Structure 1
């Protein structure tokens, strides 16, 4: 939708992009179909081909001059520290030349390994949190459980495995491995993960691992921190993964990035003078909060789903099982989550509704569905439905499951709604003094009938 808004949907043509009509979640030989609602569909593709199309579009844009080079440093004014341009290294005829270029506003989009993030964010800068790594390869002529659907395989003892077709004959596989990484990832994939995947994928995966070198990328989480404040540098704007990252399990990075471009374009377009940083700063403030419905939804959902799908303790496993069975119900139990996942329905409140619906349904499943009693390598797994005698124990488990759901969702929501960086103690202290302490005093006054506490006196 953002590409259409930008007039760039044609960049998906001529790159052998594959239509994507939803997801398929696989676990223990069972699968659940999660289609996009209505006629919505996405595209998956070779990333490099798409980037080349975007460069082609940039060259055709009015007022754009394309210069190829490597930005080595940001240029600042000595007396104010405002960023006013870039130092660029270029190679011409085998010789390296250095050039300085100036601009009213410098847009920085240098990805997850950004060289300029810390400098621009200054005292508000935060370090990305690496939750795991994706080990990737390209499969040839692989047959997915449902064609034209991204496949998420839930693997016992490991994070999820993601597969999606990127051209007529190529399918990308991304295997999530938690830290610390094993010394021989290929052996782990072949011996422990491959047997848990659909049999139709075994041969393509074995062939790919024999032929190609495995690629590794960190799965990082970096909450957005407002730009244009007194704690960040003037004159530059970070965008994309250089500023905000979420877990790539849901494939939401480009969805968020292009939506950010749409919102920022409209806001900066209303600024009559980009040299006036006070006006740009107001636009950045509106951008930070105007992007929240979609960006927050995708950010929170990506990490929350990863925590559930990569479950390694009892409470998270209960939530993971409940999530799978929630999807099996179909109807709005599928339409709602997939609309949130794809950015069709950007609504943090709808996300909270479905997340805690999954939590309560998981508790219901724990009480009513057969649970594994015993399993060994030589015996068939034994399942039994809980009896009334099990309910006291399960009630304690239910409280722990609900608490775990709150622990997963609450901090993620907080990273999106707080209006200061994690290391900005002055704003945090002001929030505590102006909101938390008065509310605590009000609670004490109403609960214990304390004498009048000034404006907080309650009779």
Structure 2
């Protein structure tokens, strides 16, 4: 039995794990931290998400000293977004010359792992982690390390290994094997609304080059396209559950006809020749760690193992890098990682310090998906209003894209623009012409609502505002609570009532 001891063990050498390992290695201490970074396979990963890095994520990489990791991998500078709907499109550039990056996930990971390997005190180890080691045999005590195994020799014999540390960090991603072992499973229940089906388009010309393209389809979820390399464009198609039995037929018959004509040929070729893969689009709000009622001592969760949002807005890596920056700065002052009373204070501070950025990214991702992937009439009204809101330009573009790019992490600004879209959607209902079929033989004509329709539209306006509130208020609530969503204690209800009252007051003003 092989055993080793470290100051910090990090399970998972992905985005969050590599960034945190490198960040902790830069903490000035009399005796540098010994960090073990454990990964099941150090081969280049092959995934269809984690390929779009927002400008806020680029800035966080620079704070970590890892900005070189996006170089020499054929990454593409991205200047913003193009939103396509009903044959028209609106240009949404990043403000003030900011740039994001489109890149191959696997190549980026390999650069991050190489940077972690070069960092002082970091040891990258290829091993399959099988379980958590605790200080008592019943599995109820403090976590003191992990057990693992790896195959050695030509006969592939299994070598059992144990790794001990003052602090164990679980960063094994959205399919975490240890999430519910670290925290109460009632506190961490991912919700999956749909899946992204991914494929790569070759040598395609997007409506606006070097921009992410969001296609709002009438009968399906949104489709996202962005360059990840020279001549390669990632296409992600949102497919709701239940998934169709014949995915290729669904893409060919239902999705591609609604995409811009400039991508039709490349998309058809990709569906026929590329390997279709899918990833669940899950939402998992962050629950405060360190509370003995819900989590074990000696171990914490980071990255998608702890907090997930819809990948439509490409904010996951940005949150992970920002978390690494904050944890590095907080752990700089910790003298003893085994002192859990001190660590609980660090985790509490981390939970709230990350809120402006993490909450903005989390809420925006799910709210936008609910609008862009809507089938319900009221949400379709909000989707149309959102598109026309962007068409106004100025702050109606700069504000939302500053939130989307994580340049301006402000939940308050997010709520302002969300309800501004809701009220503008109502104005669009009353003032803008909409297609009406006057005769069976004629094509639909654009006709403005008559005064006779106003009472019905007024009632519909109330429903639209109610629908907007139903979309965003639960998301806000999921971000401000810190306990398990299963907890039914009456003492938490006043907070929910306060949130509802403040939101109503905002609407009235």
TM-score tier by shorter-chain length is: over 0.9
The Cα of 1:186 is off from its aligned counterpart by 1.0
Measured in 1, the distance between the counterparts of 2:496 and 2:93 equals: 44
Give the SS at the match of 1:237: strand
The Cα of 1:209 is off from its aligned counterpart by 1.0
2:274 counterpart residue number? 212
State the TM-score, normalized to the length of structure 2: 0.83
The Cα of 1:91 is off from its aligned counterpart by 2.1
Q: 1:388 aligned to 445, 451, 474, which one?
A: 451
The Cα of 1:377 is off from its aligned counterpart by 9.5
1:244-301 per-position Cα deviation (integer Å, ceiling 9, x unaligned): 1111000011011111111111111211100101111110000011100000000000
The Cα of 1:376 is off from its aligned counterpart by 9.5
Residues 148-163 of structure 1: pairs in structure 2 closer than 5 A: 148-163=210-225
The Cα of 1:386 is off from its aligned counterpart by 0.6
1:366-388 per-position Cα deviation (integer Å, ceiling 9, x unaligned): 00001222389974223210111
The Cα of 1:185 is off from its aligned counterpart by 1.4
The answer to whether the 8 Å contact 1:18/1:148 transfers is: yes
The Cα of 1:126 is off from its aligned counterpart by 2.1
1:8 counterpart residue number? 66
Q: Against the structure 1 CA distance between its residues 211 and 61, is the aligned structure 2 distance closer, same or farther, given a 3 Å change threshold? A: same
Q: 1:337 aligned to 390, 396, 400, which one?
A: 400
2:5 counterpart residue number? none
Tell me whether 408-417 or 207-216 shows the greater mean CA deviation: 207-216
Measured in 2, the distance between the counterparts of 1:322 and 1:43 equals: 29
Give the SS at the match of 1:85: strand
Residues 151-190 of structure 1: pairs in structure 2 closer than 5 A: 151-190=213-252
Residues 64-103 of structure 1: pairs in structure 2 closer than 5 A: 64-78=122-136, 81-93=141-153, 94-103=156-165
Q: 1:404 aligned to 460, 467, 489, which one?
A: 467
Give the SS at the match of 2:114: helix
Give the SS at the match of 1:65: strand
1:429 counterpart residue number? 490
Q: Against the structure 1 CA distance between its residues 377 and 323, is the aligned structure 2 distance closer, same or farther, given a 3 Å change threshold? A: farther
The answer to whether the 8 Å contact 2:290/2:348 transfers is: yes
Aligned: 1:41 with 2:99: yes
Aligned: 1:117 with 2:117: no
Tell me whether 372-381 or 273-282 shows the greater mean CA deviation: 372-381
2:504 counterpart residue number? none
Higher relative contact order (CA 8 A, sep 6+): 2
Measured in 2, the distance between the counterparts of 1:354 and 1:85 equals: 46
Measured in 2, the distance between the counterparts of 1:128 and 1:379 equals: 48
Aligned: 1:126 with 2:181: no
Q: 2:429 aligned to 366, 371, 383, which one?
A: 366
Question: Following superposition, which runs of at least 4 residues in structure 1 exceed 3 angstroms of deviation?
Answer: 375-379, 432-437
**Structure 1 gaps, min length 5:** 441-459
Measured in 2, the distance between the counterparts of 1:204 and 1:290 equals: 44
1:35-90 per-position Cα deviation (integer Å, ceiling 9, x unaligned): 00012111110000000000000011011112111111111111751111011112
Q: Against the structure 1 CA distance between its residues 261 and 180, is the aligned structure 2 distance closer, same or farther, given a 3 Å change threshold? A: same
Q: Quote the RMSD (CA, aligned, Å).
A: 1.8
State the TM-score, normalized to the length of structure 1: 0.92
1:97-150 per-position Cα deviation (integer Å, ceiling 9, x unaligned): 110000111111111110000010125532210010111101111111111100
Q: 1:352 aligned to 409, 412, 415, which one?
A: 415
Number of residue pairs the alignment of both structures matches: 437
Tell me whether 72-81 or 149-158 shows the greater mean CA deviation: 72-81
**Structure 2 gaps, min length 5:** 1-58, 502-509
Measured in 1, the distance between the counterparts of 2:227 and 2:477 equals: 35
Measured in 1, the distance between the counterparts of 2:361 and 2:438 equals: 37
Q: Against the structure 1 CA distance between its residues 214 and 419, is the aligned structure 2 distance closer, same or farther, given a 3 Å change threshold? A: same
